[in-house]
């Protein structure tokens, strides 16, 4: 990729304790497939794709203006996409998560930043090329979400690496 272009996305980076719990549980599953690196576990909020590096400052300003609340996410559903992607998802998507995504999308759109048009479906990718949904009991992970980040997706000799460029806190309580 050219130096002046970055592959960007906003996401919830999985916190270290949860990453460890999910990775341990995942290795106990009786499944085939290529595990997503533990350091890369995340939940994508908005995918921007290739953007000029010079746009990062504008994206930061745009996310600075968000007023979104902290929330708790329950990852309690194991799913498999037709393309073989095994993922964890919430069986109920919290309103605060939908609001965060909507605010992000609105701000991006009003800054005329091109977005991928796939509808938002909250999920955390676990394994690729998974031939079938494991019959193991679904898990239940509680994720207290109190921040979100802008990441650059980069390739290195070990594969894909997500570099956090900036992280924003979400608001606790009802204070404005």
Is residue 87 involved in binding ligand ATP (CB under 6 A)? no
Between 1 and 57, CB nearer to ligand ATP: 1
Is 42 designated active site?
Answer: yes
Could you give the CA distance from residue 161 to residue 176 in angstroms, rounded to a whole number? 36
Residue 149 binding ligand ATP, by CB under 6 A? no
Measured from the CB atom, the residue of 52 and 67 that comes closer to ligand ATP is 52
- Of residues 47 through 66, those in contact with ligand ATP by CB under 6 A are 47
- Pick from 132, 112, 104: nearest CA to 33: 132
Contact residues for 134 (Cβ-Cβ < 8 A; gap 6+): 29, 30, 31, 78, 86
* CA distance linking residue 59 with residue 146, whole number of Å: 19
- The C-alpha atoms of residue 18 and residue 8 are separated, in whole angstroms, by 24
Q: Is 7 in the site for ligand ATP (CB under 6 A)?
A: yes
Give the active site residue among 32, 42, 74, 172: 42
As beta bridge partners, residue 150 has: 10, 166
Q: Which is nearer to ligand ATP, 30 or 83 (CB)?
A: 83
Outline where DSSP puts E strands in 53-91: 71-75, 77-80, 86-89
User: Taking CB under 6 A as the rule, which mask of x and - marks residues 95-134 in contact with ligand ATP?
Assistant: ---------------------x-x----------------
Distance between CA 49 and CA 116 in Å, rounded? 8
Residue 58 or 114: which CB sits closer to ligand ATP?
Answer: 114
CA distance 126 to 87: 5
Residue 123 appears among annotated catalytic residues: yes
**Rounded least distance, CB 118 to ligand ATP, Å:** 5
Looking at the annotation, which residues are catalytic?
Answer: 42, 123
Residues that bind ligand ATP (CB under 6 A): 7, 9, 44, 47, 116, 118, 153, 160
């Amino acid at each position: 990729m050219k130096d002046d272009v970055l592959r960007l996305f906003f996401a919830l980076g999985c916190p270290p304790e949860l990453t460890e719990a999910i990775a341990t549980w995942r290795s106990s599953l009786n499944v085939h497939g290529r595990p997503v690196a533990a350091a890369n576990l995340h939940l994508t909020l908005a995918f921007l794709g290739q953007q000029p590096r010079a746009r990062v400052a504008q994206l930061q300003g745009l996310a600075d203006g968000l007023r979104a609340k902290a929330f708790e996410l329950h990852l309690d559903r194991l799913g498999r996409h037709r393309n073989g992607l095994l993922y964890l998802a919430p069986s109920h998507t919290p309103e605060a998560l939908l609001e965060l995504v909507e605010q992000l999308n609105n701000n991006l759109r009003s800054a005329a930043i091109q977005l991928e048009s796939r509808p938002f479906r909250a999920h955390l990718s676990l394994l690729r090329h998974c031939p079938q949904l494991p019959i193991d009991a679904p898990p239940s992970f509680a994720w207290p979400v109190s921040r979100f980040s802008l990441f650059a997706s980069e390739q290195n000799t070990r594969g894909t690496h997500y570099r956090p460029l900036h992280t924003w806190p979400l608001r606790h309580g009802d204070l404005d």
